[in-house]
Homo-oligomer: A and B are copies of this chain.
Amino acid sequence: MKSYRKELWFNAPSRVAFINITHEVEACLRESGVREGFVLVNAMHITASVFINDDESGLHHDYREWLERLAPHEPIRNYRHNDTGEDNADAHMKRQVMGREVVVAITDGHLDFGPWEQIFYGEFDGRRNKRVLVKIIGE
């Protein structure tokens, strides 16, 4: 069994952002030399997500608005977590809706994807350095 590990770093210029990381994950896969196995891609921070969906700017706008309705950033004081001095309680909720991680099948050395699947880093508390872990196991 082979294993491979890499960290991807981000510093999103806004509080909320969606960044397509499919090419970075594909580069990791090539570097790993794994032909059959699984790749795990997960946010290493608890106010961010990794998820798979469409690379369409209208959809990303809709996600932003929808998540804001489900877990509004304001008023900050509505969240007890923010009594600790943070203002990111909403980001902890948004991340649960969008998920922490994806596991993708590796077949014949490629990400085994349907026609529109793309991997995104979902940031909900940006403007700081944050990481994603790519871990591959297989043969």
Chain A positions within 8 Å of B, measured between CB atoms, are 1, 3, 5, 36-38, 40, 42-46, 51-54, 56, 58-59, 61-63, 66, 70-71, 79-84, 89, 92-93, 95-105, 107, 112-117, 131, 133, 135, 137-139
B-chain residues with CB within 8 Å of residue A46 when the two chains form the complex: 52-54, 114, 116-117
Interchain CB contact under 8 A, A66 and B93: yes
In the assembly, what is the distance between CA of A89 and CA of B38, in Å?
29
B36 touches A38 (CB 8 A): no
Question: Are B80 and A58 in contact, CB atoms less than 8 angstroms apart?
Answer: yes
The 6 A-B residue pairs with the shortest CB-CB distance, nearest first, are A44-B114, A105-B135, A58-B80, A3-B36, A59-B81, A58-B81
